[in-house]
Amino acid sequence: MSVVVLAGGLSAERDVSLRSGRRLAESLRAQGVEVSVMDVDANLLPALRDEAPDVVIPLVHGAAGEDGSLADVLDALGVSFVGSGSVACRQAFDKAIAKGVVAARGLAVPYGFSLPHGIFRDLGAPAVMEAIVERLGLPLMVKPTRGGSALGATLVRTAAELPPAMVAAFAYGDSAMLEQYVNGVEVAVSVVDLGEGPQAWPAVEIRPRSGVYDYAARYTAGETEFFVPARISAEQEQQCAKAAVLAHEALGLRDWSRIDFIVTDDEVVFLEANVAPGMTETSLFPQAAAAAGMSLGQVAAALISRR
């Protein structure tokens, strides 16, 4: 089969996407698959028509890649691709919508608000932020409502830290999530469907040296410790697996996803879902695959064989 991996794009996550795409392509070539990597630009559609690949694997992180737009274009071209369809992508990409969907299915989510930039301008930023702190308390998390790689995400410990945190979030979008901080063990659970329904792989525990799993902690070697399987109880591991599959199915996701949680003494709290998991050297999905006894190339080859 001929396969095209889509990577790059114009979002703030371009560099991460390129690294993910290159690594996955190398892993597929090791499986004997004919692979090329294409950027998402004005040359893409003519190139896809000329090459006519059997399957496309979109690994474009951020807007356009994960918001459903790219899936719609591939559908319009009649191109078979690995990953979720446009409706599921849109639900998962918007963190507020994703929280609502999974909460309706019984999963615990952090309490908070998703507010557009305009509400701060119209009602007065100081008054809105004061109300938020009074309601949510401190510490709290601030992050863009749409986007990934923890770009624009900030842990706010004092009221004085909230204004710059809002500026950072709005630098990556016109809407921001403000949530009560949930203290516990941060884990990521990869979900893969190789033909027998969605299955959860071992949870990966995330321990950033800085205490916050931000962009630097995600993509700088040595800045974060990972434990696979996560150092949680067997019961908590089972709860994470069940919650990850539930979230994957509730959001209508297909083939693969990565679901992020905070595990507390009392419950498993859903944070967000990722439809195009990172495949870099420090990413979580490859670590989970290895713990499940599979290489990235084996996983991708299995998925493209089903398309």
| Domain chopping of the chain, boundaries | 2-83, 90-109+184-293, 112-180
d(CA 283, CA 91): 23
Largest Cα–Cα separation, the chain: 60
Which tokens in the block code for residue 181?
């901080």
pTM of the model: 0.94
Closest to 102 in 3D by CA, of 88, 114, 86, 115: 88
Closest to 275 in 3D by CA, of 187, 178, 153, 147: 147
Which tokens in the block code for residue 70?
């790219």
CATH class of 2-83: alpha beta
* Half-sphere exposure (Cβ direction) of 5: Cα atoms closer than 13 Å: 27
d(CA 81, CA 58): 7
DSSP string across the chain:
-EEEEE---SSTTHHHHHHHHHHHHHHHHTTT-EEEEE-SSTTHHHHHHHH--SEEEE---STTTSSSHHHHHHHHHT--BSS--HHHHHHHHBHHHHHHHHHHTT-B---EEEEEHHHHHHH-HHHHHHHHHHHH-SSEEEEESB--TTTT-EEE-SGGGHHHHHHHHHTT-SEEEEEE---SEEEEEEEE-SSSS-EEPPPEEEEETTSS--HHHHHSTTSEEEESS-SS-HHHHHHHHHHHHHHHHHTT--SEEEEEEEE-SS-EEEEEEESS---STT-HHHHHHHHTT--HHHHHHHHHTT-
Q: What pLDDT is recorded for position 149?
A: 67
Q: What pLDDT is recorded for position 246?
A: 98
Q: Does domain 112-180 have CATH number 3.40.50.10540?
A: no
Closest to 181 in 3D by CA, of 223, 211, 216: 211
| C-alpha separations of 162 from 94, 118, 176, 209 in Å | 22, 17, 12, 22
- Would you say the C-alpha torsion 291, 296, 298, 300 has a positive or negative sign? positive
Which tokens in the block code for residue 280?
């870099």
CATH homologous superfamily, domain 90-109+184-293: ATP-grasp fold, B domain (3.30.470.20)
| C-alpha separations of 169 from 43, 116, 265, 299 in Å | 32, 11, 30, 34
Per-residue pLDDT of the chain (307 residues; tens, 9 = 90+): 899 999 998 888 899 899 999 999 999 999 999 999 999 999 999 999 998 999 999 999 887 789 999 999 999 999 999 999 999 999 999 999 999 999 999 999 999 999 999 999 999 999 999 999 999 999 999 999 998 767 889 999 999 999 999 999 999 899 999 999 999 999 999 999 999 999 999 999 999 887 788 777 777 778 889 999 999 999 999 999 999 999 999 999 999 999 999 999 999 999 999 999 999 888 899 999 999 999 999 999 999 998 8
